[in-house]
């Protein structure tokens, strides 16, 4: 993971910016360009609602000027520390699309956005920009929460070497490589976990399943020099297994894969990735397979 350009999604109306705070922690041990983006939209400034076209254009420009001023106020102290920071305020609805467009235009290496816990219905009907970012963002996406990072913990790579969830070959290596880089940037150890749940009546005896997953896990890690105490194999469904290991290790972040699947099926059953984001207290770095 060669980080040269980082896009930070800013929430201009919020007093704190956890996404930006954590990017600055990454920047302690790396040199990359930073773009602060605010993708904004308000119903009061859409055509035909309250204003005619001329007033609407002027008011929308003034609105974005205020957003640019807020972004510049965040950027100036970072520039004073020697970092290269640009800002961009975009009139965007839906907001996630402006972020995706910027990623593609700038060839961004990492997107960082603040996320909050969502209710089941908001997840079900895909009404939140971060759920759409999970599906649409082509770059690695770091969803940060309120929990602060510390120097005396770990970065955790969540892998699936059996490809039980139809993960593409090579994605686990990408997850591990990125987790190792993140661990170096945060002065954290990198641990790896494979949490698997055996389906009832799957025709596989528990002992055989355990041996099969253990073999696949060991074969994956043969390419890496990770001590045994940094390897964790858990017989549990991924969302519960990751919650168990999070409680034990208290990681700064978990690096895991995000796979685009059929939207209709996920409307009804949800994806492991999305459930994990809500279950975990730590930040989640989502990695897409190479095209």
Q: Kindly report whether the global pTM for this prediction surpasses the value 0.85.
A: yes
**5-144 and 154-287, same CATH topology:** yes
CA torsion sign for 236, 242, 246, 251 is positive
Backbone angles phi, psi at 267, to 5 degrees: -60, -35
pLDDT of residue 166: 47
Are 154 and 247 in contact by the 8 Å Cβ rule? The answer is: no
Q: Domain 5-144, what fold?
A: Rossmann fold (3.40.50)
pLDDT of residue 113: 94
Give pLDDT tens digits for 149-166.
998 899 999 998 886 544
Q: What's the CA gap between 80 and 24, in Å, rounded?
A: 13
Q: Which of 37-46, 178-187, 212-221 has the lowest mean pLDDT?
A: 37-46
CA torsion sign for 45, 11, 280, 220 is positive
pLDDT of residue 185: 93
Give the three-state DSSP class for 36: strand
Beta strand 189-196 pairing with 231-235 = parallel
Q: What's the CA gap between 39 and 8, in Å, rounded?
A: 11
Nearest to 119 by CA among 111, 127, 110, 107: 127
**Average pLDDT of the chain, as a whole number:** 83
Task: Please state the domain extents for the chain.
Answer: 5-144, 154-287
Cα–Cα distances (Å) from 141 to 27, 113, 184, 268, in that order, read 16, 8, 18, 24
Prior bond of 150 cis (ω within 30°): no
Q: What's the CA gap between 44 and 244, in Å, rounded?
A: 46
In words, the CATH class of domain 154-287 is alpha beta
Give pLDDT tens digits for 42-74.
655 565 556 566 666 777 778 888 889 999 999
CA within 13 Å, CB half, 248: 13
DSSP string, 38-85: EEE--GGGSTTTSS-HHHHHHHHHHHHHHHHHHHHHHHHHHHTTT--E
pLDDT of residue 201: 44
pLDDT: which is higher, 278 or 181 = 181
What is the CB neighbour count within 10 angstroms for residue 280? 23
The answer to whether residue 263 scores a pLDDT higher than 70 is: no
The answer to whether residue 287 scores a pLDDT higher than 70 is: yes
């Amino acid at each position: 993971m060669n980080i040269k350009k980082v896009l930070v999604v800013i929430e201009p109306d919020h007093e704190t910016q956890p996404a930006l705070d954590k990017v600055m922690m990454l920047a302690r041990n790396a040199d990359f360009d930073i773009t602060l983006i605010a993708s904004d939209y308000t119903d009061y400034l859409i055509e035909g609602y309250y204003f005619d076209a001329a007033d609407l254009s002027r008011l929308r420009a003034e609105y974005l000027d205020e957003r640019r001023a807020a972004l510049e106020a965040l950027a100036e102290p970072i520039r004073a520390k020697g970092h290269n920071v640009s800002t961009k305020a975009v009139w965007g609805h839906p907001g996630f699309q402006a972020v995706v467009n910027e990623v593609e235009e700038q060839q961004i290496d990492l997107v960082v956005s603040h996320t909050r816990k969502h209710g089941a219905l908001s997840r079900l009907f895909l009404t939140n920009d971060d759920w759409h970012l999970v599906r649409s963002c082509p770059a690695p996406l770091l969803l940060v929460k309120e929990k602060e990072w510390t120097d005396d913990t770990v970065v955790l790579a969540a892998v699936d070497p059996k490809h039980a969830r139809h993960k593409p070959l090579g994605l686990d290596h990408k997850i591990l490589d990125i987790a190792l880089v993140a661990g170096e940037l945060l002065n954290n150890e990198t641990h790896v976990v494979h949490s698997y749940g055996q389906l009832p009546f799957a025709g596989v005896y528990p002992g055989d399943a355990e041996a099969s997953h253990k073999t696949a896990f060991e074969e994956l890690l043969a390419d890496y020099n990770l001590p045994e105490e940094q390897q964790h194999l858990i017989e549990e469904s991924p969302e519960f297994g990751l919650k168990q290991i999070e409680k034990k290790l208290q990681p700064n972040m978990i690096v895991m894969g995000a796979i685009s699947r059929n939207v209709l099926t996920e409307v009804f059953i949800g994806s492991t990735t999305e459930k994990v984001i809500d279950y975990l207290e730590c930040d989640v770095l989502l990695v897409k397979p190479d095209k």
